[in-house]
Amino acid sequence: MRIYINGKFYAKDEAKVSVFDHGYLYGDGIYETLRGYEGVVFKLDEHIARLMRSASMIMLELPMDAAGFADAVNRTVAENGLSDAYIRITVSRGPGELGLDPALCPEPTVVIMAKELRPYPPEMYANGIKASVVRTRRNSPDALDPAIKSTNFLNNILAKVEAKAAGAVEGIMLNHDGHVAEGTISNVFMVEGGTLFTPPAEAGILVGVTRDLVITLAGTLGMQAREELFLPERLLSADEVFITNTTMEVMPVTDIDGRPAGGGSAGVVAVRLREAYAGEVRRCLKAR
């Protein structure tokens, strides 16, 4: 693996970040996860735009513009000779003296890693996965806005620990009002009567790039998509439940805390949306 750090590439064993980096010391940074198909990074512009929004929200001055980030990501994929790739951009506040003041860090640290993507097993898409509604609540926007894709990920990690202890693949987190917010690494959808429902931004979520694409694709399939607050009980009575993110795309959920969701089998809407998603990827590849 060849890792990009501040404009240069390093072998995995030589890639180093200072112990005084405020990303390491305080979780002061942002990141994005992207996916490459046949050497082409999917929705690259959208991910970089969200990275730049996150930077603005934590008052982090980035060392390059959107075109510079796009070039660095594409170079990293090419440097590693990858076709189907898992890519992560991390930007921290950078090294500085001990203390919380961002002014202590004169330059941010940019790290881009890319490795071969290991797809989720086909049986997960065919049979669905188990999820668990966890006790750990999603950070309140009044404390640490989930709209910031932050390297300070302990909230989600604790929820993931809970989900894993329950034998679940994903944990579904509620906000402080008890409404469904999102998964530890995903956005949540349900289908009722042919209409798609997903929590709105004001539920306290990170609005996913894949989430937005799925809402758009639903429209092309003649489905209505509504952003609406709802309680977790509705997931168990819904016709279908599925989650989305960049690497899993559209994943059916067929078990929630040991109770069947969506009738206990992968639903037709999730299948149709995943097929439509694949079609969008093919169009992206043809346009390269």
CATH assignment of the domain containing 75: 3.30.470.10
Q: Which candidate, 186, 185, 171, 103, places its Cα nearest to that of 137?
A: 171
**Is 80 exceeded by the pLDDT of residue 217?**
yes
**Is 80 exceeded by the pLDDT of residue 274?**
yes
If phi > 0 it is left, if psi is from -120 to 50 it is alpha, else beta; for residue 222 that is left
**Measured between alpha carbons, how far is residue 195 from residues 161, 163, 219, 236 in Å?**
32, 28, 10, 16
Helix axes 209-220, 44-57, angle to 10 degrees: 130
Same-domain pairing of 18 and 133: no
Per-residue pLDDT tens for 143-171? 999 999 999 999 999 999 999 999 999 99
Could you tell me where the beta strands, DSSP code E, fall in 125-224? 129-133, 170-174, 180-183, 187-192, 195-198
Same-domain pairing of 129 and 254: yes
* Residues of the chain above pLDDT 70, percent: 100
pLDDT of residue 268: 95
CATH number of the domain at 255, please: 3.20.10.10
Per-residue pLDDT tens for 117-145? 999 999 999 999 999 999 999 999 999 99
Same-domain pairing of 201 and 269: yes
Q: Of 116, 147, 175, which residue sits at a domain end?
A: 116
Rounded CA-CA distance 279/213 in Å is: 12
What average pLDDT does range 31-51 have in this prediction? Answer: 97
pLDDT of residue 287: 85
Q: Which candidate, 128, 123, 120, places its Cα nearest to that of 270?
A: 128
Task: Report, as residue numbers or ranges, the catalytic residues.
Answer: 149
- Residues, the chain, total? 288
What average pLDDT does range 244-255 have in this prediction? Answer: 97
For 95, the domain range is 2-116
Rounded CA-CA distance 222/191 in Å is: 14
What average pLDDT does range 75-100 have in this prediction? Answer: 97
Per-residue pLDDT tens for 92-110? 999 999 999 999 999 999 9
Rounded CA-CA distance 270/276 in Å is: 10
**Is 80 exceeded by the pLDDT of residue 288?**
no
Domain count, the chain: 2
